[in-house]
Amino acid sequence: MANFFPRWTNILPFKIAICAGALGAGAVAAFTWYGTPKTQAVGYQPSQPIPFSHKIHADQLGLDCRYCHSFVDVSGHSNVPTSNTCWNCHQHVQQDSPKLQPLRNRMDVTLNHPDFGKPVEWVRVHKAPDYVYFNHSAHVNRGVSCVSCHGRVDQMEVVYQDQNLSMGWCLECHREPEKHLRPLEEVFNLKYDPEEYLAKKVDGVSNAERLGVDSAEDLGLKLKDMWRIQPRESCATCHH
């Protein structure tokens, strides 16, 4: 009887199996990568109702983070500025800017706008899951800067999420907190450089000499010891 199938079809099932396996492995790898917090959250940069530039306010003007985020060092939760906080300056500054019209609508009673008295609906950028508790004041009052979690916001025209804020990322800091600790007076200095800090002299004595350290790594360990920082790694630390 004649052979209806050419000889190469004998290995066709093996080829199909190899291709199917490769496709399956690729699908698993893609899901594993794109399903992580890093790809879902890092870089998230929503548009805001008022185009607020942190680079102008925090960098060029040198505003302290706590002017707008006034609860960050006294509360478990930070806060976004109220319309009144913005109006303190902008009733006098950039009065005719069209970008600030939403603010004027809410704050200028003479406009008789229907939005008068309503809050600015800022779009939240950073958000921990509901089952996670993070205390801002506990961190900034022990030398962890805004930069560690939020990046160099003073260089951002539009704020975006700089870190993935995953559980593994948090645990890395809890295991080696000395890498993120600063002197308390430098917590809100977004341009802080540990080497410059150690070299700075007060009354002829450098901070390195005063603290008895030689490097940024030694400084972190010194601060960890001074403040008796012992971050916990148990589930109940954040999930309670």
- Confidence band for 35, pLDDT divided at 50, 70 and 90: low
Three-state DSSP class for 110? helix
Q: What is the CA radius of gyration of the chain?
A: 26
- Phi-psi category of 160—alpha, beta or left, where left has phi over 0 and alpha has psi -120 to 50? beta
CA distance 149 to 156: 14
- Mind listing the pLDDT tens digit for each residue in 5-31? 677 667 777 778 888 888 888 777 766
Number of other residues whose CB lies within 10 A of the CB of residue 156? 17
Q: What's the mean per-residue pLDDT of the chain?
A: 91
174-203 mean pLDDT = 96
CA distances from 47 to 50, 80, 143, 162 (A): 8, 15, 31, 16
- Mind listing the pLDDT tens digit for each residue in 83-99? 999 999 999 999 999 99
Structure token digits, residue 10: 């004998």
1 pLDDT higher than 70: no
- Mind listing the pLDDT tens digit for each residue in 159-180? 999 999 999 999 999 999 999 9
Three-state DSSP class for 163? coil
* Whole-model pTM over 0.85: no
Please, which residues have CB within 8 angstroms of residue 113's CB and are 6 or more apart in sequence?
Answer: 104, 105, 106
